[in-house]
Chains A and B, each alone.
Chain A
Amino acid sequence: MIVQSMVRNAILLGIFAVLGTGMVALTHENTKSRIAENQRQALLANLHELVPPNTYNNDIIGDHITVTDQDMLGTADPVPVYRARKNGSPVAAVLTPVAPDGYNGDIKLMVAISYDGTILGVRVLAHNETPGLGDAIDISKTPWVTGFNGRSLNNPKPDKWHVKRDGGVFDQFTGATITPRAVVKAVHKCLQYYMSNRDTLFSKGEHEGKSTA
């Protein structure tokens, strides 16, 4: 009797597991292409804020490689580099370095640098900085990050690549110096990395990673 009801319950649970999984699988099947397209569009929208779509004509998301350099890019994980080209010649590269020394953990950045080494723009993709203080690095709060536009390794001079408190040219925020300091440092390092690896960045693995965009 007990065995019978155990078997009955086990079968019942099994049926529900199959039904539930089936429903999830069906939903997944019907939404996955749309979700992939959403993620692609969101990434493309981010890229287009920094690299205007009329300046290049390749598939910028498909044309990407991944590089790893914990010291210069702030993370031990592979970092994607998106490459914009016009008729085959390099226009700009978009890197996504991490500022590991934010006030509250990693700050994920997106840095677009034109082929000649000028910064086209910087955006903060994800951060956990204090709302109202450190979150001024977010373009939706203040235009602070646009202060990087047009900068390069010699503009300002290397010893001025700091926040004002440290004798540099970049503004800090009232009550929050650590956050902008971390971002300035990460952008500067990313720029140095780009300039010393520029040619390999553009020539390496032309068709690598096409499927993982």
Chain B
Amino acid sequence: MTPPSYNSIIRDGLWNNNPALVQILGLCPLLAVTATVVNGFALGVATAVVLVCSNVTVSLIRGFVKPEVRIPVFVMVIASFVTAIELAMNAYFHALYNILGIFIPLIVTNCNIIARAEAFASKNTVSRSMVDGLATGIGFTLVLMALGAMREVIGRGTLLTQANLMFGESAKWMTVTVFDHYNGYLLAILPPGAFLGLGFLIALKNVIDDRLKRRVLAQQAADARPAGAV
């Protein structure tokens, strides 16, 4: 089997095989923390860092870890990285850490991470695994942010509230009030809003994919016709 090209790794992680939209993995944090863009971004970045670290480590040790013990080893690697990142967030982003609460340690249980370790990093080189972790992590973060943006605009009428928790006091200007004197739409903030929002995002991706496929088919048909006519 030829190793996948970097291009296809990146395209898979971001779009074709997006962890949240196609594999539908890691839904628990995805649905729980996306009430605002900043929360989604913070959890996405934390997840992406864990993904890159665990993919690189798993790829490094793939030569001498026997298949029988690989799962416990992967779990230990992932759990260690998550705990370290949890401590670091508590130290450097304390307010954000308090908001995300239990969902940071729960990154351990995000099936995305062990799925990438098992399905990709344990079979590929270190650099490919790193790119895969990064692409998957960014793909996951983008969905978290998109869902967060939808729910925040509809639910609160703002964008990027509490950006200062992530980027420091100087980032307060980033908060955008989309609708003034907006009373909020409760459904979007509560869990059902997360399910509905994710459903719409998946539907949107399928519509875009469908359009692209039809365009390619039409192109092929157009290319084929003159040849057949001759």
A interface residues with partner B (beta carbon < 8 Å): 5, 8-9, 12-13, 16-17, 19-21, 23-24, 27-28, 31, 34-35, 38-39, 41-42, 131-132
Contacts and interface: CB of A to CB of B under 8 A. Distances in A.
Nearest to B184: A132
Given A12-B69, A13-B73, A42-B94, A27 B186 contact: no
Contacts of B64: 12
Contacts of A12: 64-66, 69, 73
B91 interface: yes
Given A24-B83, A27-B87, A17 B76 contact: yes
B190 A131 contact: yes
Contacts of A20: 76-77, 79-80
A201 to B, nearest CB: 29
6 contacts: A12-B65, A17-B76, A20-B80, A27-B83, A34-B92, A39-B94
Nearest to A126: B98
A175 to B, nearest CB: 11
Contact of A38 (B65, B80, B94, B190): B94
Most buried by A among B79, B83, B91, B189: B91
A131 B190 CA distance: 8
> Taking chain A's interface residues, is the majority helix, strand, or loop, or is none over half, making it mixed?
helix
A31 B92 CA distance: 9
Contact of A21 (B80, B88, B98, B186): B80
Cβ-closest 3 pairs across A and B: A20-B80, A31-B91, A38-B94
A131 B94 contact: no
Interface residues of B, number: 26
A20 B73 CA distance: 10
Contacts of B87: 24, 27-28, 31, 35
B94 A24 contact: no
A177 B64 CA distance: 63
Contact of B84 (A23, A38, A132): A23
Contacts of A27: 83-84, 87-88
A9 B95 CA distance: 42
B107 to A, nearest CB: 14
Contacts of B95: 42
Most buried by B among A17, A19, A31, A42: A31
Contacts of B90: 31, 35, 38
Given A9-B69, A13-B73, A35-B94, 10 more contacts: A16-B73, A19-B80, A20-B79, A23-B81, A35-B90, A39-B94, A131-B186, A132-B184, A132-B186, A132-B189
Nearest to B74: A16
A13 B73 CA distance: 6
B168 interface: no
Contacts of A31: 87-88, 90-91
B79 to A, nearest CB: 7
B228 interface: no
Nearest to B97: A38
A8 B66 contact: yes
Most buried by A among B65, B73, B77, B79: B73
Contacts of A21: 80
Contacts of A5: 66, 68
Contacts of B80: 19-21, 23-24
A21 B79 CA distance: 10
B72 interface: yes
A167 to B, nearest CB: 30
A16 B76 CA distance: 7
A58 to B, nearest CB: 25
A155 B214 CA distance: 74
